[in-house]
Chains A and B, each alone.
Chain A
Amino acid sequence: MVKYSIFTIARNALTSHKNWPKQWRSPEPKSSYDVIIIGGGGHGLATAYYLAKEHGMRNIAVLEKGWLGGGNTARNTTIVRSNYLWDESAAIYEKSLQLWEGLAQDINYNVMLSQRGVLNLAHSLGDVREGVRRVNANRLNGVDAEWLDAEGVKDFCPIINISKTARHPVLGATLQRRGGVARHDSVAWGYARAADALGVDIIQNCEVTGIKREGGKVTGVETTRGDIAAKKIGVVAAGHSSVIAEMAGIRLPVTSHPLQALVSEPIKPVIDCVVMSGAVHVYVSQSDKGELVMGAGIDSFNSYAQRGSFHVIEHQLGACLELFPIFSRVRMMRSWGGIVDTCPDASPILSGTSVEGLYFNCGWGTGGFKATPGSGWCFAYTLANDAPHPLNAPFSLSRFESGALIDEHGAAGVAH
């Protein structure tokens, strides 16, 4: 693997950047692997990388039905934070944030992590109590968190409207200064390149169509590029998790929904932090290109189409304009949707199943981008050891039987 640095850029400039090597190989699938990862999004690629790096495994393939990161990884609004309420969530998201903080060095790829601070607004006394409680819970868990009153919010984000006569006035906000945004494509590409360098086969345009089993144990997969044997299978297919579960006769508590986002025309720098509001259903940040990046909540109905209804966008822009009247004449450029796998308790599933050797990593729903490194790290541990790491043990499928749900609707909710 060519090490990326300012010197490599300079050297390649001499040849007009025509001699950069491919970032990863595109091998033909082998007939068998120790581990097959289904899904070449950020989580699947991170899993493969940590399997190779932390657990010394080499005979690994990532199978992706389309192109790398073409699922939610490249469709999300890239908010990264770790200020979740419950101990279990704080632990896994904080692990992830810590990995983010060293990720560019670790995989030698600029993931453009920008820790610009994330505000979660409160618009009612209930929101205020919930926010203050979350700040306290975060601090007890070693997660940085601050409570700002309305004036403090205005100081941190001067363009926000804190008028008391607003329909949903801003009463305060939680602030996580270490939160921010990162570059979605880089995460997929960087993990792919680093995993490939450790010998992982990354196979695109290869859709898994069946899970082969014998005596309650996985033996391999059927794909559009032929059958491939595997000792273990990790399914990291986000919105399509239920489809793959059905191939193996497993039931999941997951439902798939459209989640939409949109960007404006590029404008000069106007907002240098991330602002989210669960109550009025909108969140905003500004990309390096100058586009305002906005999103809202899911479309209510089940869907596998990467598009949703217009009224959801209308609603979120209404909320946005009340918070930021300065945006009133900005034109929107593009909108799109992803398919998110939501779970009843708004927490993910990283778990073994009733089929030996078959593991699922899903249910991240609207908020899994921030978790990409931590999710991959925990899932690699689980696959390598056939047992969960303490960080992901609470996120097993069995919690839906035991009742030990991890209810993060408050911290996750519309927020990502």
Chain B
Amino acid sequence: MLNIDCPWCGKRHETEFRYGGEAHIARPEDPAKLDDAEWAEFLFMRTNTKGYFAERWLHSHGCRRWFNVIRHTVTHEIVGSYKMGEKPPKLPKSAGGAK
């Protein structure tokens, strides 16, 4: 069970949250300009990092707000959470392969 730090409510059990997958996938500025390969990239292709990973969580049974978390996908260590639009926290020194 993960203990996740909501930037508004503090540390809560994973069961209060919903997962939102990879963070920082920007909506296309001009959707009409995208070709099929670019749409596939935006909609479906995912980085699926083995290592430190930036991901979105929704505090669905709490403040109902979205935020980002940096978590290691092998150890499940959580480095920190940050609000949408904020800069991610610094990664530990050993961090390899983080995206």
Contact = CB atoms under 8 A, between A and B. Distances in A.
Contact of A305 (B14, B19, B47, B73): B73
A158 interface: no
Interface string A387-407: 000000000000011110000
B46 A305 contact: no
Given A242-B48, A400-B44, A401-B40, A305 B21 contact: no
A253 B45 contact: yes
Contacts of A251: 41, 45-46
Interface string A343-365: 01000000000000000000000
A253 B46 contact: yes
A255 B46 contact: yes
Contacts of B19: 300-301
Interface residues of B, number: 29
A109 to B, nearest CB: 34
B45 A400 contact: yes
Interface in A109-129: none
A304 interface: yes
A18 interface: no
Contacts of B46: 242, 251-255
Contacts of B48: 242, 252, 254-256, 302
B14 A402 contact: no
B24 to A, nearest CB: 14
Interface in A225-259: 240, 242-243, 251-256
Interface of A: 240, 242-243, 251-256, 300-305, 309-311, 344, 400-403
Interface of B: 1-2, 13-15, 18-19, 21-22, 36-37, 39-41, 43-50, 53, 55, 71, 73-76
